[in-house]
C-alpha cells in the first residue's frame, strides 16, 4: 500500500509540474497577442493558397480542394512552425533569460519539463487544427475518414515536432537568432520534400524515394489519405508505423538531449 501511495504522489507531482510549465508557456504566449494573431494567420493563408492552386490546377471542386489542402497546411505549415519552432524558441528563451538555472535549482523533473512543453504546444496545435478544420469546413470540406485515426496522426506529428524541437533547442540553438536559421535550414527543405507546399505526386521518382525517409512526408501522406480520401488504418499502416517509431525516437532523443543540457548548464 505505501508503494502505491508513493506512486500516486509521484504521478501527481509530475502532473502538477507539467501543468505549471504548460500554463506558464501559454500565459507567455497569450501576452504576446501579436504572435498569437500571426500564428493564426499563417496556417489560414497557407490553406487558402494551397486550396486555390489545387482547385485551379487539379480541376477540383472547392470542397475537395480544401479537403486536400487542409492536411498539408496543417502538418506542414501550422504544426511544424508552432510545435517545432515554438519548442525550440521556448527552450532557447529559457536559456537566454537563464530561467532554466532557476528551474534546475527547483524540484522540477526533466520529464515534467518536457511534458509541459509538449502539452503547451499540443494546445497550440489543437487550436490550429480547429482553426484549419473550421475554415476548410466553411468551404464545404468534410473529414472523410476516421476522426480517431486522424487525431492519432496529428498527435504523433505534434510529439515528433516537439521532440525534434527539444533536440534542436537544447543542442544546437543558444540564442534567439539561431532559431530562425535552424528552422529554415532543417525545416524548409524537409517541408518541401514532405509535400507540404507541393503535392508529392509532382515529385520525380528519385525525390519520392528520398521523401520516404522524411517524417513530414509520412505525416502528410497519412493525414491526406485519412482526411481527404477516407482511407483506413490498413491503407496507411506503413506511414503510421514510420511516424510512430519516429515519434518514440524523438521522445528518447529529446530526453537524452535534455539530460545533456542539464549537465552542461548546471552552474549558477
Partner 1 sequence: MLQIEKLNKSYGNRPVLRDLTLHIQPGQIYGLLGQNGAGKTTTINILCNLLNADSGHITLNGEPVSDSTKPLIGVAPQENLLYKSLSCEENLNFFAQIYGLDRKQRYHQVEQCLKAVNLTDRANSPVETLSGGMQRRLNIAVALVHQPKLVILDEPTTGLDIEARYEIWDLIQQLQSQGITILLTTHFLDEAERLCQRIGILKNGSIVAEGSLEELQKLIPAQEIIVIKTEQEAEVIARAEKYNFIPRRYGSDLAFWLPEPLELKEIILRFDGISIDSIARYPVRLEHIYVEVTK
Query: 3-state DSSP: the chain helix, strand, coil percent, rounded to 5?
Result: 85, 0, 15
From the list 7, 8, 11, 16, which residue makes contact with partner 1 (rule: CB under 8 A)? 16
Residues 6+ apart with CB under 8 A from 189: none
**Residue among 173, 80, 158 nearest 117 (CA):** 158
Site for partner 1 in 157-196 (CB under 8 A): none
Distance, CA of 257 to CA of 134 (rounded, Å): 37
DSSP class of residue 198 equals S
From the list 28, 177, 209, 238, which residue makes contact with partner 1 (rule: CB under 8 A)? 28
Query: Counting beta carbons within 10 angstroms of the beta carbon of residue 246, is it exposed (0 to 12), middle (13 to 18) or buried (19 or more)?
Result: buried
> Which of the stretches 12-20, 52-60, 63-71, 157-165 binds partner 1 when contact is defined by CB under 8 A?
12-20
From the list 98, 212, 259, 260, which residue makes contact with partner 1 (rule: CB under 8 A)? 98
Indicate the residue among 116 and 150 with the shorter CB distance to partner 1. 116
Q: Which positions from 31 to 60 touch partner 1 by CB under 8 A, shown as an x/- string? A: xx----------------------------
Residues 6+ apart with CB under 8 A from 17: 108, 109, 112, 113, 116
Q: Which positions from 68 to 97 touch partner 1 by CB under 8 A, shown as an x/- string? A: -----------------------------x
Residues that bind partner 1 (CB under 8 A): 13, 16-17, 19-20, 23-24, 27-28, 31-32, 97-99, 101-108, 266-268
Amino acid at each position: 500500500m505505501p508503494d502505491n501511495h508513493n506512486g500516486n504522489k509521484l504521478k501527481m507531482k509530475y502532473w502538477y509540474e507539467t501543468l505549471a510549465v504548460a500554463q506558464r508557456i501559454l500565459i507567455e504566449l497569450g501576452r504576446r497577442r501579436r504572435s498569437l494573431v500571426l500564428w493564426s494567420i499563417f496556417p489560414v493563408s497557407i490553406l487558402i493558397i494551397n486550396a486555390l492552386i489545387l482547385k485551379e490546377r487539379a480541376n477540383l471542386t472547392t470542397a475537395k480542394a480544401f479537403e486536400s489542402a487542409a492536411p498539408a497546411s496543417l502538418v506542414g505549415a501550422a504544426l511544424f512552425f508552432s510545435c517545432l519552432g515554438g519548442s525550440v524558441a521556448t527552450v532557447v528563451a529559457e536559456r537566454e533569460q537563464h530561467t532554466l538555472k532557476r528551474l534546475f535549482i527547483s524540484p522540477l523533473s526533466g520529464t515534467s519539463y518536457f511534458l509541459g512543453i509538449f502539452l503547451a504546444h499540443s494546445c497550440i496545435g489543437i487550436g490550429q487544427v480547429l482553426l484549419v478544420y473550421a475554415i476548410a469546413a466553411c468551404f464545404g470540406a468534410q473529414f472523410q475518414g476516421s476522426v480517431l485515426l486522424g487525431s492519432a496522426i496529428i498527435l504523433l506529428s505534434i510529439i515528433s515536432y516537439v521532440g525534434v524541437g527539444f533536440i534542436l533547442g537544447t543542442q544546437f540553438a543558444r540564442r534567439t537568432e539561431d532559431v530562425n536559421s535552424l528552422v529554415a535550414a532543417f525545416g524548409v527543405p524537409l517541408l518541401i520534400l514532405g509535400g507540404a507546399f507541393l503535392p508529392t505526386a509532382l515529385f520525380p521518382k528519385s525525390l519520392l524515394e528520398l521523401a520516404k525517409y522524411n517524417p513530414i512526408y509520412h505525416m502528410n501522406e497519412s493525414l491526406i489519405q485519412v482526411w481527404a480520401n477516407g482511407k483506413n488504418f490498413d491503407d496507411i499502416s506503413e506511414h503510421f508505423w514510420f511516424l510512430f517509431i519516429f515519434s518514440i525516437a524523438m521522445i528518447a532523443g529529446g530526453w537524452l538531449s535534455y539530460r545533456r543540457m542539464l549537465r552542461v548548464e548546471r552552474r549558477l
